[in-house]
Structure 1
């Protein structure tokens, strides 16, 4: 199972790497534009957990800024030191508040809110290499999001390219399913 997931991660990473910069930039803009038609309530009293994309991951800080423009509170993860564990969270206050963190990830520099800050989130955007039609998500493999999202009742959305919604993916018992996918051309899609 692990070798299959590892192979799939390599394949999806190579496919993403083959996309031109212009294609990825257009996709990032489209993802931000879809926020205006989100099928969830995104207003002043809602907290949304999201992430800052890196490398060839779909999206950009523009998606986070679009959420802020809706008046919601946006929190983004900070990878804790040590072995994989639940993610820590910090309020996102714009791209200027980001700095390189563990593994070179862009993370906010504000006050840490703790791992339980995710409890306030009604909507959670998560990175993924792919998602299948039953909600199984292929992540990077360390399990940070599975540890963070286990038992949560929030709307969980995998942000992927349109061709990364696949028929099926291998899963482990601890994998947390998503209920939605957000893609650049298809927008929000109910999964599962």
Structure 2
């Protein structure tokens, strides 16, 4: 009876995984590598059980688990966690925009900008995403590749879809003012009005 209670409690409290990870780190610092590895393996099992049962549509637990596996250098496992989150159906995950953004950032860190562009393409095809995916992709292109043209193309692509969304337009204008693009900002105002 107590075993089932503790398992249920651990599955409902994702902070427990962070505590187990911290305990593993402390044992590793003290030199007890075997016990540290055991705690890490227990943490992975707990994360896996969490995303398969009660927290299957909780984005935060997926992000924490993917980061955990990325730190353990299990890149393929982390990628499968993100893909599993992105494949959750519409009823359980109404707005997967943040999941796509996190997956893009992960792919950029591990495989480079081309893999992040693949995730962005997948996000554009998903009707549940909102304008934040375009802003995140454009800013990622600008800050990571230093290519203004690609960032402008992404913003213009998003403008075709979100030309009535004031928040998207303000994000685009903010980007242009950051670059001191007065002429392009004027052209954008004329195009919107």
- The normalised TM-score by structure 2 is 0.26
Name the structure, 1 or 2, with higher relative contact order (CA <8 Å, separation 6+). 1
- The normalised TM-score by structure 1 is 0.26
Larger Rg: 2
More helix by share: 2
